[in-house]
Amino acid sequence: MSKKKEEELLKLVSEEEIPVHVAVIMDGNGRWAKNRGWPRIAGHKAGMDTLREIISCADEIGIKVMTFFAFSTENWKRPSWEVKYLMKLPEEYLQKELNTLMEKNVVIKAIGDLSRLPRRTLKAVNDALHNTKDNTGLVINFALNYGGRAEIVDAVRQISQKVAAGKLEPDDIDAQVLADHLYTGDIPDPDLLIRPSGELRISNFLLWQMAYTELWFTRILWPDFNREHFLRAIMDYQRRERRFGGIKK
Ligand code: V0D
């Protein structure tokens, strides 16, 4: 995008109504590569450049939390060579980006069943969590081996164990107790979900947390998604907020 166009768009984004938490399904990488006659892997690689661009834009406009759906519990069904390649990406990304992310004061977090990730992947992610835990800036939350139903099932299991052990009364279980047992911990619910690539579904992402989230879809594929699209999504979100602003709260 041209510098001028970006400045124009930035002026249209209200500084007062920036969403706190934006969730993104990074979808369409394989199709983007296929359209060019390239291997799917090339799409994932291009998707990583988009990730970098969107994180820097989110940081600039003052978003507090970005959650990126990087790998779902269903993605294990993909060909083993693709899964193997995907599992190298956290390490590759962090090797390239960790310095910049530290300069930006970014906190890296992860949600999902991390115990099932390959050892090297888990080590790279754990090191990043550790190295950024005392930062105070933008939180980048990666959903890895994440599934919304599995997360709720996990929470119910933990709560049941507390009940069985006499540590919790069934009558004391409410929405807050359930939310407290999800992977998202103290991360606020997303205000906005962005899903590129033309699919109009939630696909088992943050099921509980998205009860009131504004949904924004585009047919643009993730590797083609850029700051301009991102700022438009934020502007649309702000328009919706204003329209209902009078009767909300
Ligand atoms: C592929 C496009 C960064 C979407 C982006 C294992 C699909 C590139 C990470 C990453 C993936 C994860 C954790 C972390 C740091 C970086 C990543 C996966 C796929 C799945 F702490 N990109 N990325 N993880 N892609």
CATH number, residue 106: 3.40.1180.10
215's enclosing H/E stretch is strand 214-217
Please report whether residue 152 resides in a domain.
no
At 4 the pLDDT is 78
> 245 pLDDT band (50/70/90 cuts)?
low
Residue 188 CA from chain centroid, whole number: 13
**144 pairs with which residues across the strands?**
71
pLDDT on residue 212: 95
Catalytic residue, from 27, 29, 145, 191: name it: 27
Of all residues in the chain, the percent with pLDDT exceeding 90 is 90
Q: What average pLDDT score do residues 176-187 get?
A: 97
Q: What is the pLDDT of residue 43?
A: 98
Q: Residue 49 is encoded by which pair of tokens?
A: 């450049």
Q: Does a structural domain hold residue 203?
A: yes
Query: What's the confidence (pLDDT) of residue 15?
Result: 87
The reply to whether 223 falls in a domain is yes
* Residue 128 Cα: closest atom of ligand 1: 21
Residue 75 known to be catalytic? yes
Is residue 246 pLDDT above 70, yes or no?
no
pLDDT at 210 over 90: yes
Q: What is the mean pLDDT of residues 233-243?
A: 89
Residue with the smallest CA separation from ligand 1 atom 14 is 90
Spatial distance between the Cα atoms of 122 and 49, rounded to a whole number of angstroms: 22
The Cα 197–Cα 69 span in angstroms is 14
Q: What pLDDT, in 10s, does the model give residues 33-85?
A: 999 999 999 999 999 999 999 999 999 999 999 999 999 999 999 999 999 99
21-25 and 192-195: which strand pairing? parallel
Q: How many Å lie between the centroid of ligand 1 and the Cα of residue 159?
A: 31
User: Mean pLDDT score of the chain, rounded to an integer?
Assistant: 95
| Residue 206, domain extent | 18-147+189-239
- Is the predicted pLDDT of residue 249 greater than 80, yes or no? no
Instruction: Give the residue, by CA position, lying nearest to ligand 1 atom 21.
Output: 125
> Measuring CA to CA, which residue among 192, 194, 164, 168 is closest to residue 180?
168
Pocket of ligand 1 (CB under 6 A): 26, 29, 44, 47-48, 51, 70-71, 86-87, 89-90, 93-94, 108, 110, 125, 128, 142, 144
Can you tell me whether residue 71 is helix, strand or coil? strand
Measured in Å, residue 91 CA sits from the centre of ligand 1 at 9
In a domain, 163, yes or no: no
Q: Residue of the nearest CA to atom 19 in ligand 1?
A: 70
pLDDT of residue 247: 58
Please indicate, yes or no, if residue 7 is contained in any of the structural domains.
no
Please identify which of the residues 75, 131, 204, 226 carries the catalytic annotation.
75
Distance CA 53, CA 200 (A): 24
Whether pLDDT at 16 is above 90: no
Retrieve residue 162's tokens.
């507390």
Pocket test for ligand 1, best of 93, 101, 102, 225 (most atoms within 8 A of CB): 93
pLDDT at 3: 78
Is 182 a domain residue? no
Q: Which pLDDT does position 204 carry in this prediction?
A: 98
**179, part of any domain:** no
When divided into structural domains, the chain yields a total of: 1
